[in-house]
Structure 1
């Protein structure tokens, strides 16, 4: 009886141990289930990350010879020549020289077009070709009003530039200037840009102090003084202008100018044929523009006030008098001298034109047969 009671007192302790063991197993399994991945991850060696190669970009095929500027330089460059203007000697017997550029446009006759200011006052003109050969040039003719001149050299196997139509130009298209910007040391330099504007009119002062108005193409291709007379070329390798002047001011950059070929062609044809340019002539002098302000002050119509009429000239023969104000020509309103010049440029010597003048507040229509402007 005593042994049985002792056994009963020990049973609850065994049961508790069994319960604790079961709970420990359950909680241990849960712990291992959730925590094992962490332990396993720590035990794994770090993996090396392979650098990713950038994707291959497609290679765009390009050949140097595909560049239009290179083709232009190689094809047109040899036809651009260097011009040296010899004007005698100074007090110390040093030669007085200046340089510019020119373009061979007729290889059979050795004709070269350049700017008049490049050869103005020359006692001797030297032309240097692309191959380094030197020739003495003859001045065939010049035109101060368009700043153009034609030279001729006695040479064979010359290169020749092809002229294009400047009237077909569009703003923004390629423009390449070729010339000698700083003399023979920089012969046939090539600069590229675009056509910036068409039908510009700029007024420049000649060496004699006279002002002339030029009709020009504007480009941002670099044109420096020695480039004068050189070629402005389009993407087809055609000369579409003769480089002429550059605005040289501290606040102006990238403005070069060229005389368009549609102006150059008829001029050089006349220079070869006559040695000068025949221009229509009305026969008036001492004229001035009547501005809107002057019109109000003096009670005169806007137009060109005629100060004098050349005796025996076209205007005098038609009945024009000093004091008349020209207000219309060929049906077009005339307010400035430039308006009058534009109409005259479109006519030839011998053309009959209608000119309307105001005289004593009366409108009078005159028929004027244009004469030839006297040579200067």
Structure 2
């Protein structure tokens, strides 16, 4: 009886394993065994400087000697700040890729492999804009990983991460690709990385570790998580392998990364803006400002153009443009496709190189005749200091927005500087009034303005 029971249990396990195999679920054990030797744990040490614990108060000479020792500055000793992260070997002679934020500010960097070998690492170069750093250890015939073509990556694919979350060495976690090409502005409001979004469990300590496809190739470098608790909630972001490979080559050759630069300020195109600019749907990047002396300024590009294609890259959302421009080598001639007042145009531009690294409103006498006009906006001339600070060629300052007016419905606020109405530039109060009078009624029109120095487009409608 016992023998028959054991046979039945064995058969049940076999059938279960076969069912899993036929279900299409991935089996990660062999993959982990093959790739984990090239994944590393990175420990860093940052040494703080000696400092005074307090400052001497003024009038110290009046403090009695018995209390003077209480106010003497004390020297705080140096202390070591330890941090950790992950990385992986990209060449057998000891080059290692990780996140820049893992090693930033570190005085000592130590790399540990799964076989417990340890190496002291030196920084070859860093690229804060992509949050990548290239390290070098003195080693030979080290295990290495290969990169995948991330352009073949699709939403829904299984992916695997290996790293050291919370110091738990060489932990594996799996999930699927949730989205591709995510735009996440950095703390410097830059956006040069089209992130891969996954639901893989990524936690502090995973940063810099590899994200694999089922062929054991690196499709991304785990970089960020979205969390409210400090732990994984299923929103993690990885740097695409194609971008990482370009960074590695440049850091090896030059110790820095050169990126393409266009020199424009852009915004998203919503449904109303799309209609006012003659687009059949929201798409592209709307140019709200062109930087003086930039490649865009030297081209035929104009404020109000909607860039829908840059070179071979389609610009579906505004975040696609920085991704496309940043990957182009400086000095390259690129053809842009723009929509200008409903008409498609092709514009050539020579891409430049991206460099390293209180608003005043003039007080003027109120015009008793100014009742807000058709837009319900009381305006005045632009202050010269504001014009200089914001690098404006002209415009008018909104002093008052009448309640219920077209300007109020468009979201215009006092202090905004209007630079364009419809498709006409505004360089003075006189020009503003002429353009305002000529605007068609009951039509969706673009209005361009600056708020605290930042340009923006919105739509405005005069209901008559």
In the alignment, the residues of structure 2 paired with residue 351 and residue 89 of structure 1 have an alpha-carbon distance, to the nearest angstrom, of 44
- The answer to whether the Cα contact below 8 Å between 2:183 and 2:319 also exists between their aligned partners in 1 is no
Tell me if 1:371 matches 2:352: yes
Query: Which of residues 247, 263, 267 in structure 1 aligns to 2:226?
Result: 247
Output the TM-score relative to the length of structure 1: 0.69
Quote how far apart the aligned CAs of 1:300 are: 12
Q: Which moved more, 1:243-252 or 1:257-266?
A: 243-252
In the alignment, the residues of structure 2 paired with residue 317 and residue 218 of structure 1 have an alpha-carbon distance, to the nearest angstrom, of 37
Tell me if 1:315 matches 2:299: no
Aligned to 1:82: 41
In the alignment, the residues of structure 2 paired with residue 330 and residue 303 of structure 1 have an alpha-carbon distance, to the nearest angstrom, of 13
Q: Which moved more, 1:221-230 or 1:68-77?
A: 68-77
Tell me if 1:173 matches 2:157: yes
Quote how far apart the aligned CAs of 1:100 are: 0.5
Aligned to 2:116: 132
In the alignment, the residues of structure 1 paired with residue 185 and residue 324 of structure 2 have an alpha-carbon distance, to the nearest angstrom, of 21
Aligned to 2:146: 162
Aligned to 2:430: none
Can you list the C-alpha shifts for 1:319-359, whole angstroms capped at 9, x where unaligned?
Answer: 66xx8334235588979642432442453322223457899
Aligned to 1:237: 216
Query: Which of residues 242, 254, 260 in structure 1 aligns to 2:240?
Result: 260
Task: Count how many residue pairs are aligned between Structure 1 and Structure 2.
Answer: 310
Quote how far apart the aligned CAs of 1:228 are: 0.5
CA RMSD for the aligned pairs?
A: 3.8
Structure 1 residues 152 and 307: CA distance shift in structure 2, 3 A: same
Unaligned runs of 5+ in 1: 1-52
Quote how far apart the aligned CAs of 1:230 are: 0.7
Q: Match of 2:325, SS?
A: helix
Structure 1 residues 121 and 325: CA distance shift in structure 2, 3 A: farther
Structure 1 residues 263 and 161: CA distance shift in structure 2, 3 A: same
In the alignment, the residues of structure 1 paired with residue 315 and residue 212 of structure 2 have an alpha-carbon distance, to the nearest angstrom, of 35
Quote how far apart the aligned CAs of 1:262 are: 2.5
In the alignment, the residues of structure 2 paired with residue 360 and residue 69 of structure 1 have an alpha-carbon distance, to the nearest angstrom, of 54
Aligned pairs (5 A) from 1:54-73: 56=8, 58-59=11-12, 61=14, 68-73=27-32
Name the structure with the higher helix share.
1
Aligned to 1:9: none
- The answer to whether the Cα contact below 8 Å between 1:306 and 1:326 also exists between their aligned partners in 2 is no
- The answer to whether the Cα contact below 8 Å between 1:197 and 1:219 also exists between their aligned partners in 2 is yes
Q: Match of 1:325, SS?
A: coil
- The answer to whether the Cα contact below 8 Å between 2:310 and 2:321 also exists between their aligned partners in 1 is no
Query: Which of residues 237, 252, 264 in structure 2 aligns to 1:272?
Result: 252
- The answer to whether the Cα contact below 8 Å between 2:109 and 2:122 also exists between their aligned partners in 1 is yes
Aligned to 2:180: 199
Structure 1 residues 290 and 135: CA distance shift in structure 2, 3 A: closer
Structure 1 residues 210 and 117: CA distance shift in structure 2, 3 A: farther
Can you list the C-alpha shifts for 1:135-167, whole angstroms capped at 9, x where unaligned?
Answer: 221211222222111111111242212322233
In the alignment, the residues of structure 1 paired with residue 296 and residue 331 of structure 2 have an alpha-carbon distance, to the nearest angstrom, of 13
Quote how far apart the aligned CAs of 1:281 are: 1.7
In the alignment, the residues of structure 2 paired with residue 356 and residue 304 of structure 1 have an alpha-carbon distance, to the nearest angstrom, of 13
Aligned to 2:322: 341
Q: Match of 1:306, SS?
A: strand
Query: Which of residues 126, 130, 135 in structure 2 aligns to 1:146?
Result: 130
In the alignment, the residues of structure 2 paired with residue 306 and residue 335 of structure 1 have an alpha-carbon distance, to the nearest angstrom, of 19
Tell me if 1:103 matches 2:62: no
Quote how far apart the aligned CAs of 1:309 are: 0.9
Aligned to 1:289: 267
Structure 1 residues 307 and 258: CA distance shift in structure 2, 3 A: closer
Output the TM-score relative to the length of structure 2: 0.57
Aligned to 1:28: none
Q: Which has the higher contact order (CA 8 A, sep 6+)?
A: 1
In the alignment, the residues of structure 1 paired with residue 78 and residue 228 of structure 2 have an alpha-carbon distance, to the nearest angstrom, of 33
Larger radius of gyration: 1
In the alignment, the residues of structure 2 paired with residue 221 and residue 361 of structure 1 have an alpha-carbon distance, to the nearest angstrom, of 43
Unaligned runs of 5+ in 2: 50-75, 280-284, 358-464
